[in-house]
A and B are shown apart, each in its own frame.
Chain A
Amino acid sequence: MPRPLFDKIWDAHVVRSLDALDVVYIDRHLIHEVTSPQAFDELAARGLELFRPSQILATADHNVPTLNQHLPIAEPLSRSQVDKLTENCQKYGIELYGLGHERQGIVHVIGPELGLTQPGLTMVCGDSHTSTHGAFGAVAFGIGTSQVAQVMASQCLLLSRPKRMRISVEGELRPGVTAKDLILYIIAQLGTGGATGHFVEYAGSAVRSLSMEGRMTVCNMSIEMGARGGLIAPDATTFAYVAGRPFAPQGAAWDDAVAYWQTLYSDEDAVFDTEFTYDAAAITPMITYGTNPGMGIAITGHVPNEVPAAEAESFDKSLKYMGFERGESLLGKQIDYVFIGSCTNSRIEDLRAVAAYVAGKQKAEHVAAFIVPGSKQVEQQAIAEGIDKIFAAAGFELREPGCSACLAMNEDKIPAGAYCVATSNRNFEGRQGPGSRTLLASPLVAAITAVQGRIVDITQYLN
């Protein structure tokens, strides 16, 4: 029977089935300081062993400062949470790339970068953006803390098989249109709940032509339309990216792995529960105007005038929070902050794109622009390439790795009422600090906005 890619991977991981639920084996488990402490407590309270410690990798990212990481964390609660992770990892023998480690970084940036993320694997993390790893053709998804404890105790989860959706984007993206615009466009079409209950496969020539970094950006935001996860069939681009990384298979094992990975695609006649096809040429640079990632428009477009009656209350509440009106254009709106970072867009390719634009330019005086690399390795690479100097000359501040203003658990908060163009994935009320107003966009849009100081039709400003 022809199967979608998702089913090939899922089926290969079913230990046993009971009625509607499968016991699904998990190959890799990533943990971080925020959603793991209660899971470790759960194990301890039940007197359970950690089943497969070598299949867990830990890092500190959500709650860490992005300045002076060599000093002890000043904020006591953050420090205690990070200390707790260190303690637990020592106690259970888990590899930890903590603060100060050369491999530390945002969990979804370091997995791929270290070659830990590979085609055909099942991967979980107590974080909804675990879908990022699907870019490699892995079944990767976020879980809650109770499930973190389950995986720790058994290396398995009890799950119902999600429905399968395929989203194809065919054709060529226009100049200035990036992977981020592509996914913001899709989410704007489907809405925040549009893929609930589904696992999404992204396909089509526009998706295949994306770099691994671009594919990660796309898969990362799958959860923003409610999907359990997103994935892309692995191909030569994938194999070339994984090859030679620290955890990648070597020698004969590499050949075996590639031979297996080449079987990972949706069969020609595979049936999907839901299918959508979009034309790449219809996608323009995007920006969000509201308080969920589905509220996105072409940067030159207008905030919708009409919405269904049932949504009106939420819609107007959202616009009021953002200080925007129905039907208006965002062009010309002054911006206070530009944040380039998060697991969506903080990889070296993102930093290069920003640097390529801002080289020889200056940020607008009234804008505070900061860049938070996704990992220590990205930071080191940026320094090695001299990108740090370009940022400094342009007035952009390059910080140390972490989640930072993506969720503002640390000090990196946007003040109430201020507008921030961010390359992250969520524009929820207060996401970047109480009262903060977030406009999601690509790194290129963020860079141009920082220089212009206001929202512009970026296609007029491309280098």
Chain B
Amino acid sequence: MEKFQTLRTSGVPLPLENIDTDQIIPARFLKATTREGFGTNLFCDWRYNADGSPKPEFVLNDPRYQGQILVAGKNFGCGSSREHAAWALYDAGFRAVISSYFADIFRGNALNTGLLPLQMSDEVLARLLAAIEADPTLELVVDLPAQTLAVPAWGETFSFAIDPYKKECLINGYDDIDFLVNQKSAIAAFEKQRAWTW
């Protein structure tokens, strides 16, 4: 996993609620056996017509939006557990998603992919969406060690919550496997004493 420390970029607005992982990456693209290449099919059915031509009205086809942060409506990433959704966003160049609410599994998958889920209040999210639509170049600055999102044009900084262990992992590019594999002797001891063996 790549290290994540700070990010200075602009946002891509997608002001819909309950965006599910079937929209982020439709099931028919889950046949690959590797992690790479899902970015091409990110939001496929919203992004392309049936003949493969781009739908000009969809935000990812709008050349004014080039940023690395997706700014999306409430309850982002609900539905399927497919980590492919996080991989597709990452593969398409996104490094963070801002929403006012994330589905649990998506949040975990994003953190395990190196994609930062950044939860803001409904109010801040609404302000961000409006401001980005008015000015697609609006600069956003994420500082993970400080746990802040700054909007320099507003002179405002918002803090966000993240589990301290997960934060360390992202900053250093570590993941849970390394940690868990080091616990093997404790795990084996646990197996010996557990009550149920059937």
Contacts and interface: CB of A to CB of B under 8 A. Distances in A.
Interface of A: 12, 15-16, 18-21, 23, 25, 27, 34-35, 37-38, 41-42, 46, 48, 51, 62-63, 77-78, 80-81, 84, 118, 120-121, 126-128, 142-147, 149-150, 153-158, 160, 162, 192-193, 196-197, 223, 226, 228, 249, 253-254, 256-257, 260, 292, 294, 310-311, 313-314, 317, 407-409, 416, 426, 428-431, 434-435
A313 B184 contact: no
A149 B176 CA distance: 10
Contacts of B184: 51, 154
A423 B147 CA distance: 44
Contacts of A21: 163, 165
Contact of A145 (B83, B180, B181): B83
Interface of B: 15-18, 20, 22-23, 26-28, 30-35, 45, 50, 73-75, 78-84, 86, 101-105, 108-109, 112-113, 122, 126, 163-165, 175-177, 179-181, 183-184, 186-187, 190-191, 194-196, 198
Contacts of A12: 194-195
A35 B34 contact: no
Nearest to B113: A146
Nearest to A81: B31
A157 B108 CA distance: 12
A294 B79 CA distance: 12
B78 A226 contact: yes
A25 B180 contact: no
Contacts of A150: 176-177, 180
Contacts of B191: 25, 155
A416 B50 contact: yes
Contacts of A41: 33-35
A429 B22 CA distance: 8
Nearest to B35: A38
A197 B27 CA distance: 25
A20 B23 CA distance: 32
A434 B101 CA distance: 27
B190 A25 contact: yes
A35 B83 contact: yes
Contacts of B86: 144
Contacts of B26: 430, 434
